[in-house]
Amino acid sequence: LRHLPLAYDRHGSMANRITVWTDLHRLAAREQEGLAARELLVVDTDSRLTQLGLLPLAGPGATRLFPSREDVAGRTATTLPELANLWCDHMFGPDQHVWPMVAFAPQHLMAARRYAAGRDNAFLLVISLGVGNNEAKRIPEPFEEELILTLLEDRNTLILLDSGTQDAGRRRVEALLATCRSRGLATAFLHEEDLATRQPPFPHGVVGFRGSIGALGALIGEADGFFGYDSCPQHIAAALDTPSVIAFAGAPNPRFEARWRSQGRAGRTFTIAAPPDAMWTDDLIQALAMQVAQHFRWLRA
């Protein structure tokens, strides 16, 4: 298994996003050198790199397109993991169901385990407020503030609040930490490079975190629970069987929401689907925060 680096600007111009295919085609051609036709199979995951399969990387006999927006073999599947298993059975023959999984670098695993071991009896919650640059996926203010303050009404609750890698995420987390301090709650900030040498500074409060997705994922694996929106960390949490609550907002249609629900072997993800036309009153936002907090209370009981 090898990974080939390819730069792609998701928010670049249309021309830039289309012409990246030429770079990908060169990489694919290099990998195909010396292979007979029967030795080659290109599985296109319906990605934007090939404009959803329109731009080829190999001959039609050597290419299989994974239809992420369709049903397979006349069967209705919901999540992408279910669809992928059905498609593989249809294309290559029936086999055992394969669940999502992730693997982390040893240094991330060791650092996360050491940090989490220092929480004593605290209930460790990892929260990621990232939305992949799609603000439609975010529940409006003051939801995030209400959520954190509601969660901290329960004693011995330690929240690790991920700030992502962009400045906007850092500012959001800093504002939430300032709100917590104004309420007399303990706060701190942790960088990935200090993860292996630090321990939680208190058993109750909020620790902001800034680091790579590998470090964050390893921390999710050590946590007692996870909260997030529809973004990468929700799928990591599901693959690791970390009990999770996901606020799924901004879906353009029911199929999108069904496809992108996270799924793990243990089925420990609770998804709250927000209707696309929701009128977010303060009462509704507060009720949603209470619903999330109540779910984690059930886990602690």
Question: Does residue 247 surpass a pLDDT of 70?
Answer: yes
Question: Does residue 87 surpass a pLDDT of 70?
Answer: yes
Confidence band (pLDDT; 50, 70, 90) for 70? confident
Q: How far apart, in Å, are the Cα atoms of 171 and each of 66, 206, 245, 289?
A: 39, 15, 24, 21
Cα–Cα distance measured from residue 159 to residue 189, given in angstroms and rounded to the nearest whole number: 11
DSSP 75: B
The torsion region of residue 146 among left (phi > 0), alpha (psi -120 to 50) and beta comes to alpha
- How does pLDDT run across 166-177, given as a tens digit for each residue? 899 999 999 999
* Burial state string for 106-125 with b = 16 or more CB within 10 A and e = fewer than 16: eebbebbeebbeebeebbbb
Cα–Cα distance measured from residue 163 to residue 9, given in angstroms and rounded to the nearest whole number: 22
Cα–Cα distance measured from residue 72 to residue 70, given in angstroms and rounded to the nearest whole number: 7
How much of the chain, in percent, has pLDDT values that exceed 90?
73
Confidence band (pLDDT; 50, 70, 90) for 11? confident
Is the CB of residue 219 less than 8 Å from the CB of residue 126?
yes
Torsion of CA 77, 78, 82, 84, to 10 degrees: 80
Cβ count near 28 (within 10 Å)? 17
Strands 187-191, 123-128: parallel, antiparallel or unpaired by DSSP?
unpaired
Which 3-state string (H, E, C) describes 85-150? Answer: HHHHHHHHCCCCCCCCCCCCCHHHHHHHHHHHHCCCCCEEEEEECCCCCCHHHCCCCCHHHHHHHH
- How does pLDDT run across 89-135, given as a tens digit for each residue? 989 999 999 999 999 999 999 999 999 999 989 999 999 999 988 99
The torsion region of residue 186 among left (phi > 0), alpha (psi -120 to 50) and beta comes to beta
The alpha carbons of the chain give a radius of gyration, in whole angstroms, of 21
Structure tokens at 163: 């700030």
Is the CB of residue 291 less than 8 Å from the CB of residue 151?
no
Domains and CATH numbers, the chain: 1-65 (no CATH), 68-98 (no CATH), 106-300 (3.40.50.2000)
Question: Does residue 221 surpass a pLDDT of 80?
Answer: yes
- How does pLDDT run across 262-301, given as a tens digit for each residue? 999 888 999 998 877 778 899 999 999 999 999 999 999 8
How much of the chain, in percent, has pLDDT values that exceed 70?
99
> Exposed, middle or buried, 67 (CB in 10 Å: 0-12/13-18/19+)?
middle
> Exposed, middle or buried, 170 (CB in 10 Å: 0-12/13-18/19+)?
middle
Query: Which of 31-40, 173-182, 263-272 tops mean pLDDT?
Result: 173-182
Confidence band (pLDDT; 50, 70, 90) for 77? low
Q: At what angle do helices 167-182 and 143-151 cross, to 10 degrees?
A: 50
Which helix or strand (DSSP H or E) is residue 230 part of? none
Is the CB of residue 6 less than 8 Å from the CB of residue 49?
yes
Q: What is the mean pLDDT of residues 228-232?
A: 94
Structure tokens at 256: 């999108």
